Amino acid sequence: MSNLVAHACALLRRNVLGLTVRRAVLPLDNLLFPVLKTAENPEATIADAEKHLTGATIKSLGRHGKYFWLRFETAIGTPLVMLMHFGMTGRIRLRDVHSHMIFMENGGDKKVLQQKSANLIVNKVKEEDLAIGDETVEESGLEEKAEPEAWPPKFTKFELFLTNEADRSVELAFLDPRRLARVRFLQGEDYGTDTQLLSMPPLNSLGPDYSKKGLDNVHEDPDLNGNKAIFDYSSAFSGDPDPLHHGRPRLTFEEFAQVVLVKKKPIKAFLLDQDFFAGIGNWVSDEILYHAKIHPSEVISKKISSTANPVLRRLYDSIIYVMEESVRVEGNAKLFPENWLMLHRWGKGRKEPRATTKSGHKVDFQTVGGRTSCFVPELQKPLKKEELPEDGPVQVKEEISRPKKNIAQVRTGKRCAKR
């Protein structure tokens, strides 16, 4: 999911940063805007939000996990943030930016694989490609006019009409077919910086986003393949549009190992826990475990007692690798490495022979924690139980073992508020 959010942020950075809202069209929708559920006068609340947005200029944007935000400069100078969550199928569309949806579960995976094998990928600056878990979106930049399309698009939930002093106009639509997206307007000095934003609900309960290198090493550190990270916001495939952790860095390996060794749930379910791993979704967790060679139903703490066990290092490195790489290419499935599982995991209900990876290994499926998990049985075998040292199992820090408490609050001694 972080890759989808990163693509949306990159698309917005390239096209709307610095533009001013000429008009905002917000519906009276208490699913999309949760504040309306408790508002005494919902109509007045929506009208007030439209009023504050009109004339405001988009000054910056950011992301953390499955959330992303636009930060506005208003006429009265009060910080205003639009915080968004896509849910399952939310997305951003810009008028005159062509979008073509390929649903991975309805044969889109076959199309992408055919194009990859035929070497039909054209990496153009004006082409935007996006994988959204079960779907791929292709968009071309604003410089290339798209075919005329109905506007607003189907499933549009709100619109922003943007412009600048040079009379450049952009129309933005927020789409959500399944009605699971959420949008919040946060205003006041408590939201003056992105670090402050992450300290307030609902972001304060989230764990670190492992796709983010952070501030100090974002331009120097190579990825796990030895390649230098590229952060060119002007290019179509720019890498991370917001590489900063905003005060919530990912754990060190030692901290990570301590946390894993006190969890009593299957590793697949643990990776999906946003209180510990913000932004990891279903297919990403499968990809991580595939590279780490760990079965999705494995309860690691029942098999491993030492933080020095190499399984923990493989898992840690795989989380960082998959998260960083999927964000670097903005979720473009055609640009994922050939040895990834992602394009081979969508054939569960098909009558044809089981899907295989690029290397020829058969994939299988199992429900873990209520979610369908894809894995390769030949490579992801149950772990052997580690022999305990003579002095007994490893001792872990008590405060880290407490459930539903992310490490950012552990470090500061603060408790998490419920999301």
**Nearest by Cα to 121 from 228, 229, 236, 4:** 236
Specify the pLDDT at position 105: 47
On the question of a cis peptide bond just before residue 152, with omega within 30 degrees of 0, the verdict is: yes
Specify the pLDDT at position 148: 65
Specify the pLDDT at position 350: 52
Specify the pLDDT at position 75: 86
pLDDT at 392 over 70: no
Specify the pLDDT at position 240: 80
Q: How confident is the model at residue 355 (pLDDT cuts 50, 70, 90)?
A: confident
Give me the chain's average pLDDT, please: 80
**Across-strand partners of 356?**
362
Model pTM score: 0.81
Q: How confident is the model at residue 351 (pLDDT cuts 50, 70, 90)?
A: low
* Chain segment 228-272, per-residue pLDDT in tens: 333 333 333 345 889 999 999 999 999 999 999 999 999 999 999
Domains by residue range for the chain, with CATH: 2-95+151-205 (3.20.190.10), 253-412 (1.10.8.50)
What are the strands, taking DSSP E only, across 95-221? 99-103, 127-131, 135-140, 156-163, 169-175, 182-187
SS3 string, 180-214, reads CCEEEEEECHHHCCHHHHHCCCCHHHCCCCCCCCC
126 or 53: which leads in pLDDT: 53
pLDDT at 141 over 60: no
Specify the pLDDT at position 215: 57
Question: For residues 255 and 407, is the Cβ–Cβ distance under 8 A?
Answer: yes
* Chain segment 39-56, per-residue pLDDT in tens: 999 999 999 999 999 999
